[in-house]
Copies of this chain bind each other. A is one copy, B any other.
Amino acid sequence: MVLRASLQKREEKERVRHALLRAALQLGSEHGFSSLGLREVSRAAAIAPTSFYRHFTDMPELGLALVHELVRPLLQTLTSEPVTANTPHATLVERMFEAVEQDAELVRFVVAERFGSFASLRKALAEELERVVLALHWADTGADRATHAPHLLETGMALLLDGLGRILDASGNDRAVLCETLIRAYAPLVHHAQTEQRRA
């Protein structure tokens, strides 16, 4: 006997699962993902603590789901449409800063947990960020997919994430200033990249 949940059932489960993820994100942005408890998150998602186990075995597993189901889509939007040809990285920076406006909690999660306390989360986030760097590399150069991304792009990503961390603690006008500052910090990198390409 093969039983399958109806679409309605599956959607309802998905809704609760999503509520748990968002609750963890919100609470985590306040006092850190590693200090979150299963009961605390369940309470915020308006389900009984015991219902948590219908979705995740424990909080670390929920953390990985956050990376794969929320962080990955966010990062994919950065490279989904080709960036403007003449100022590709400035555009990238601006997009990321827009992401802060739209979903600061998610961005804080990425920035905080990248060097946070859970090794599994650090690894998962590093992989997702590496995807972005590789996608940018292919877009820039049309390089073969087996090619390693150049250090320059990884440097750019490090700068970007650092900038995001800074603006999360800033507000209003300061954010715009930090955005411009970051784009200017990119300048030597872009210049260097062009020089290298001219040589090749």
Which of A41-49, A84-92, A133-141, A187-195 is the interface stretch? A187-195
Is A151 in contact with chain B by the CB < 8 A criterion?
yes
Per assembly, the copies of the chain total 2
Measured in the bound complex, the distance between the Cα atoms of B119 and A117 in whole Å is 16
B159 touches A155 (CB 8 A): yes
Q: Which residues of B contact A181 (CB under 8 A)?
A: 151
Q: Which residue of B lies closest to A184 (CB)?
A: B151
* A contacts with B, residue count (CB < 8 A): 38
Is A176 in contact with chain B by the CB < 8 A criterion?
no
Q: Which residues of B contact A35 (CB under 8 A)?
A: 32, 34-35, 117
B161 touches A116 (CB 8 A): no
Q: Which residues of B contact A81 (CB under 8 A)?
A: none
- Binary per-residue interface labels of chain A (154-172) against chain B in the complex, 1 for a CB within 8 Å, 0 otherwise: 1100110111010011000
B155 touches A185 (CB 8 A): yes
Q: How far is the CB of A169 from chain B (nearest CB, A)?
A: 6
A116 touches B159 (CB 8 A): no
B165 touches A162 (CB 8 A): no
Is A72 in contact with chain B by the CB < 8 A criterion?
no
Q: Which residues of B contact A31 (CB under 8 A)?
A: 34, 117-118
Q: Which residues of B contact A116 (CB under 8 A)?
A: 32, 112, 116
Within 8 Å by CB of A117, from B112, B114, B163, B189, lies: B112
Measured in the bound complex, the distance between the Cα atoms of B113 and A117 in whole Å is 10
B169 touches A162 (CB 8 A): no
Q: How far is the CB of A120 from chain B (nearest CB, A)?
A: 11
For window 24-67 of A, CB contacts with B under 8 Å fall at 28, 30-35
6 more A-B residue pairs beyond the given contacts A33-B117, A108-B115, with a C-beta to C-beta distance below 8 A: A35-B35, A35-B117, A114-B165, A151-B185, A188-B191, A191-B192
